[in-house]
Structure 1
Amino acid sequence: MSAASPGLPRAPATRLDPRLVFWLILALSAATLYPVADVLGTIQHLRVRDTDDAMRLVGVRDLVAGQGWYDNVQHRFLPPGGVASHWSRLVDAPLAGSILALTPLLGRPLAEGLTAALWPPLLLALYGVILFLGVRRCLNPRAAALAVLAALQTLGLVGQFTVGRVDHHNLQILAMLGLAFCLVRGGLVPAFLGGALAALSLAIGLEGLPTLALAALFLVGDWIARGWPALAGLTGFGLGLGLGAALLFGLQTAPALWGTTACDALSPPWLWLAVGGMIATLTCAIFDRHLTRWNGRLALAAGLGVALGAGFAALFPICLGGPFPGMPALVHERWLRAVSEMMSVPAFIAKGRPEILAFYPPLVAAALAAAWAVRYGPATQRRYFLVVSLFLWPGLIVGWDQFRGTYIAAGFIPLVAGPAIDRALTLLEATEVTLRRRIGASLLAASLVSTIWSLPAYALAFLRAAEPTPEGLPCQAESSVSPLAALPPGTILAPINMGPAILLHTPHAIVAAPYHRAIPGLIAAIEGLGGSEADLRRQMTARGATYLVTCPTKPVPDLGAETAFATRLTTGAVAVPWLEPVPVAGTGLKVWLMR
């Protein structure tokens, strides 16, 4: 590999110089993904993308300060008991290691800022390497280079790798991408590695569970259809998944909790499926030589699958309803369905949020194009596109109802966009090809680039910018929250989304934050800030709140027909003796001390 041509061979059939593509990738990455102001803001002020990134850094900071590996309780969240997080320490570990390594050289604040700023770009670089090598091996070098270029224009993907994005979705995308290429390659060792990556994805979070189920069914179906030649792939995946899930579960879960069911994290219900699946694949391997026809293999696989599913339903019925069992209707309607990542595509449209155009249509185009290639594409590429389809369609279907379903799938749009752009360029240079085919190929390639779809969204946003908008600081920003640190430490009742930022930038404890395991805090914020004076006082007393903090530019939705008491308090329409206003310089927030 030379410095002049970094792994990109020349393609004499096109005027597109691969070396130019490579430098364009670097330029686009520097210019569009990591503006200097964003990088400096994260390094100097620990500005992060959203609430999950802030809460992740709070947990990492506690780990660095000596909190136990198995102690996943956030003790400043709903004190004195705290809230046990379901997030994986496997994500915390490299972040904490980086901070510990940099602190002696730079000091703790700068070590935290540099870690938050540099971790996502490093992961994106790793994604690009895996993507390029995988597509090059499966297709060709030019398609691989174009896939990397397309990745940097896929907003749903690069959004998970922006500075400060220390949440777990980017690591999940990497694990699933590696799994996909392992499935395409086939064989015992690649399949075992793929199963281990699937286990890693489960240990990090359960968002990819539908996709992993499809991957397993793909391997089972391959064995049913082909028998012995596909057995190594099925067996290797089962071993990697079962052994990997058990090992990672033990690594990140306190022994006292090994028997505790958790529907939202890797725990006994999902171990039942992973380890049970491993036993099922070994059973298939034992009986394979006796099953010479596909219908015999189908009968065995179906029987094992029914037994596995029936056991899950009998042992863990609480998890059949999803990861949020027992969530009150008030919290579900007033909070969960209002969270952006839980919103449906129709909800985005109904709320007049055109940014959905940059995320969902390219996913639709990629899923349809991959399915078309499975049916009509070259025979040598059909397994590649079939596997890619397995990772696109679950995101397309789940993402229609819950936007977070698109997160992992967005990482696979470039696997379709790269070869589609490559084909379009080839057809444009072929004089014997009809104009209709050239236009069709070009439109398909364009439809897979989300920055093109974002143009209408930008236009609508520009038009709306001319409309009157409320002035004020964003209440979750570090600049708004950090002045609260000057107050004597206490417990703050504030709007739900402000909670993680308060934990990150101040010494205070909080009542509410956007996490489903903290139902009492969510109820306190919804009822207390959205209800009457009696509701507010009752919730503040029950939760031991010292301070009330409100956001003047974004009141909490009213719980009843009347304007919420906290909203009227914020505007100065009312005042009560049990809440003493506290002036805090440098913030746009309103603060009261409870007497």
Structure 2
Amino acid sequence: MALFWVTVVAWFLYDRQGNIYWLLLGDTDDNMRLMQVRAWLAGQGWYDLRQYRLDPALGGFDIHWSRLVDLPIAALILLLKPFIGIVAAEKWACGLAPLLPLSVAMIGLSLAVRRLVAPWAWPVALIVLMGCTSTMSMYAPMRIDHHGWQLAFLALTVAGLADPRRARGGAVVGLSSAASLTIGLELLPYCAMAGAIIALRWIWDREDVRRMQVYGLTLGGGSALGFAIFASNANQVLRCDALTPVWLSVMVAAGALLFGLSLLNPANRWVRLGLATLAGAIIVAGFALCFPQCLGRPEQVSDELANTWLNNVREARPIYKHAFKTAFPMAVLPVIGVLGALFATWRARRSEALVGWAAVALFTAFASAMLLWQVRAAPAAQMLAVPGSVALLVVAVPWFLSIREPFARWIGEVPAQLLGVLLRVFGTVGAFLLLSGLWAGLVPPLFSGDGAAKPGKPAPPDKVAAANNACARMSNLRMLNDVPAGIVFTHVDLGPRLITVTHHSGIAGPYHRNGRAILDVHHAFTWATPNFRPIAAAHKAQYLLICPDMSETTLYRARGPNGFYAQLVKGQVPNWLEPVSLRLGPAGKPLPFKLWRIRYDLPDVAVKPAK
């Protein structure tokens, strides 16, 4: 498995060497993660996760993350810095860091498949994992945000659920859940489902009490340890969006109750069911009574912020609200995984593997159902589908390989031999492509009109995608360093990239604790032009930077068709915006964005079209 992982690492580093060289951190969270690591290495406190380069006039804003994911990135930077310098060390640290949790995910899946399917089947699981496009995208170089680590702990959770050694399995699930929650609450539903499955196993089989007992201890103890070491100063209060005292209380109480039930361990199954139900009711009732503010959205944002920004995040939409070409490849493997897990559960109905497969089938079905809530569940759903897919493959592929002379009695020996060869070759390949889900990416272009453009009629370029890429490119953004450092009023999604690449500070980033600044940016761009300067002045902004056609600007146009941004892109620039000339880009072309200096000493006059 280690050799397989090294091979994947080598390929990824070769394939993404351009991204590493240009520090192409494609996601806003990846940029912000690097900024958090930089701040820590520069002397910012371990428990101080405030980002002071965004909205500095108001003291920056808190990030609800933890330092756990910062550790490997910082370690790689410190390790490489003496040999290649700080600039190159940051680039290679960002390239290598996502590949570390990939090894953990491979370990989890390999163990799960060895325990559930066959000792020799783990390489099949790794091959199927390579086809999980949503999952593997979280491990690509430069994807340094926390999702890869959370998926890795989720893979270990599956291995723990499948572990025949009860105490070890319970410890792995409990510690993996605690580590995932220490990083963030994104996988809280999966952690809760894992705990429910362990309780159900105990209800069904009294002999499984040791698994639940150790799980309860490690969940409560691991969560407490994670909170003590990694909870930031801002997470010491009763917030609902991270491992704060709110969720720490829930995890400790849940662990204590499960441990208490394990000590009772009544012989009657119905009594065990009743006690487990009572424990669940106590947790739910206690949560509702003690933390009523957390019964809604964990982000605790205002309705205006939710409608203006949070509800428009593509990842937060259910899969059925996405285009077919996006949704279909995401959903295929989870469906196959559920069917495979159910098939394997049925096959194991008279063996010791029944309980393990039933647990994994429940977990896989739950993960697939989460796609109906948010499409960001796709990486986890695809990864959890791997054991079920492998269970089908190890039955179907050997069956096709065993075919020798089908229908020889009716078509003759020679034609039967030829037919057998064809079935062995094409049947095996077809079965593998079908049951591994690798065929899913071929279907959308065939049925959604997304095929190649007709000769002589090239497909129109995607202006939004082109603008997103061009305005985030390091070679373009670095041109802004020719201008004296200042506070730049720009789009929310451009803020983290701006502070990562340039010496400027920004106003906002797409983080719910930055809600006031997010609304101010949207108001400034969508309200009438005279409203812009008072908003910018409140944040002491010195420059205005826009990226025409960037995806966020589509919201400005929709919500403020006659607002400041809409007038600006039409050339109606107010007199108090002083154009800032910039050098041409690296290719000798104009830069994709526009920059102005904001003048607060000039009165408003009629807006005139720019020359």
Q: Residue 340 of structure 2 contacts residue 391 of structure 2 at CA under 8 Å; is this kept in 1?
A: no
Change in 2 beyond 3 A, CA 1:153/1:358: same
Question: Per-residue deviation at 1:414?
Answer: 2.0
Could you say which residue in structure 2 is the equivalent of 1:285? 262
Match of 1:386 among 340, 355, 358: 358
Contact 1:87-1:265 at 8 Å conserved across structures: yes
After TM superposition, list the pairs within 5 Å mapping 1:257-406 onto structure 2. 258=236, 260-288=237-265, 291-325=266-300, 327-349=301-323, 354-377=325-348, 379-380=350-351, 381-406=353-378
* Partner Cα separation in structure 1 for residue 438 and residue 475 of structure 2: 31
Matched, 1:496 2:470: no
Q: Note if 1:48 corresponds to 2:25.
A: yes
Deviation at 1:407, TM superposition (A): 2.6
CA displacement at 1:68 relative to structure 2: 0.7
Q: Normalising by structure 1, report the TM-score.
A: 0.88
* Distance (Å, rounded) in 1 between the aligned partners of 2:278 and 2:113: 37
CA change 1:189–1:124 in 2 (3 A) is closer
**Change in CA separation of 1:29 and 1:257 when aligned onto 2, cut-off 3 Å:** closer
Moved more, 206-215 or 365-374: 365-374
Whether the 8 Å contact between 2:525 and 2:532 is mirrored in structure 1 is yes
Pairwise CA distance, 1:549: 0.8
Alpha-carbon contact 2:112-2:387 (below 8 Å) kept: no
Q: Work out whether 1:576 is the aligned partner of 2:574.
A: yes
Q: Is the 8 A contact 1:413 1:448 kept in 2?
A: no
1:116-146 deviation digits (Å, cap 9, x = unpaired): 1112223323432442244224322442111
For residue 399 of structure 2, what is the aligned residue in structure 1? 427
**1:76 equivalenced with 2:58 (yes/no):** no
Distance 2:13 2:92 in 1: 14
Structure 1 partner of 2:173: 194
Does 2:128 correspond to 1:150? yes
Equivalent positions of 1:208-247 (< 5 A) are: 208-227=187-206, 229-247=207-225
1:371 Cα deviation after fit = 2.7
TM-superposed deviation, 1:502: 0.4
| 1:27 CA drift (Å) | 6.7
Determine if contact 2:235/2:243 at 8 Å carries over to the other structure: no
Q: 1:523 aligns with which of 519, 523, 528?
A: 519
Residue aligned with 2:56, SS: coil
Structure whose alpha-carbon radius of gyration is higher: 2
User: How many pairs were matched up?
Assistant: 562
Structure 2: gaps spanning 5 or more residues: 408-422, 586-590, 600-611
Q: Deviations over 1:534-593 (max 9, x none)?
A: 232232122221111111233342254634322332342x12111111122223110111
The 8 Å contact of residues 161 and 360 in structure 2, kept in 1 or not, is answered as no
- Cα gap change, 1:433/1:378 in structure 2, threshold over 3 Å: closer, same or farther? farther
Whole-Å Cα distance in 2 between the matches of residues 545 and 413 of structure 1?
Answer: 49
Distance 2:577 2:55 in 1: 21
Residue identity in the other structure for 1:311: G
* d(CA) in 2 for partners of 1:87, 1:511: 19
> Is 2:64–2:235's contact at 8 Å kept on the other side of the alignment?
no
Measure how far apart 1:527 and its partner are. Answer: 1.5
| Cα gap change, 1:449 to 1:429, in 2 (>3 Å) | closer
Whether the 8 Å CA contact 1:196–1:244 is kept in 2: the answer is: yes
1:280·1:304 contact (CA, 8 Å) conserved in 2? Answer: yes
Instruction: Assess if the C-alpha contact under 8 Å between 2:221 and 2:252 holds in 1.
Output: yes
Contact 1:98 1:115 in 2 (8 A): yes
Two-structure CA RMSD over aligned residues (Å): 2.7
1:564 partnered with 2:535: no
Q: Which residue of 2 aligns with 1:170?
A: 148
Query: What one-letter code is carried by the residue in structure 1 that aligns with 2:319?
Result: V
Secondary structure of 2:43 counterpart? coil
Q: 1:221/1:46 Cα in 2 relative to 1: closer, same or farther (>3 Å)?
A: same
- Relative distance call for 1:193 and 1:401 in structure 2 (3 A) is closer
* Distance (whole Å) between structure 2 residues aligned to residue 362 and residue 424 of structure 1: 16
Given candidates 436, 453, 468, the residue that maps to 1:449 is 436
Alpha-carbon distance, 1:482 to partner: 2.2
C-alpha change, 1:255 and 1:530, in structure 2 (3 Å) is closer
Question: How far apart are 1:504 and its partner, in Å?
Answer: 0.6
Q: 1:510 aligns with which of 500, 503, 506?
A: 506
Q: How many angstroms apart in 2 are the aligned matches of 1:405 and 1:323? A: 17
Tell me how far apart the structure 2 counterparts of residues 523 and 242 of structure 1 sit (CA, whole Å): 38
Q: 1:494 to 1:449 in 2, by over 3 A?
A: farther
* Identical positions, percent: 28
Structure 1, gaps ≥5 residues long: 1-5, 8-21
1:481: how far off?
A: 2.1
Which amino acid is 2:65 matched to? W
- Indicate the larger mover: 420-429 or 529-538: 529-538
Q: Does 1:412 align with 2:387?
A: no
Check whether the contact 2:487–2:505 (CA below 8 A) recurs between aligned residues.
yes
Q: Please name the residue that 2:110 is paired with.
A: 132
* Partner Cα distance (2:450, 2:389) in 1: 27
The offset of 1:239, in angstroms, is 0.5
Provide the rounded CA distance (Å) in 2 between the counterparts of 1:356 and 1:515: 25
Closer/same/farther in 2, CA of residues 146 and 106 from structure 1, 3 Å limit: same
Question: What does residue 605 of structure 2 align with?
Answer: none
Q: Distance in 2 between matches of 1:425 and 1:521?
A: 56
| Structure 1 match to 2:419 | none
- Which letter maps to 2:194? A
**What letter corresponds to residue 295 of structure 1 in structure 2?**
W
Q: How many angstroms apart in 1 are the aligned matches of 2:406 and 2:252? A: 54
Give the aligned residue type for 2:201.
D
Quote the Cα distance in structure 1 between the aligned partners of 2:440 and 2:8.
18
Moved more, 359-368 or 211-220: 359-368
In structure 1, C-alpha distance between the alignment counterparts of 2:130 and 2:106, rounded to whole Å: 9
- 1:542 is aligned, of 531, 538, 541, to 538
Instruction: Pick closer, same or farther for the CA change 1:377–1:192 going to 2, 3 Å.
Output: closer
Shifted more, 333-342 versus 176-185: the winner is 333-342
Tell me how far 1:378 sits from its aligned partner: 5.3
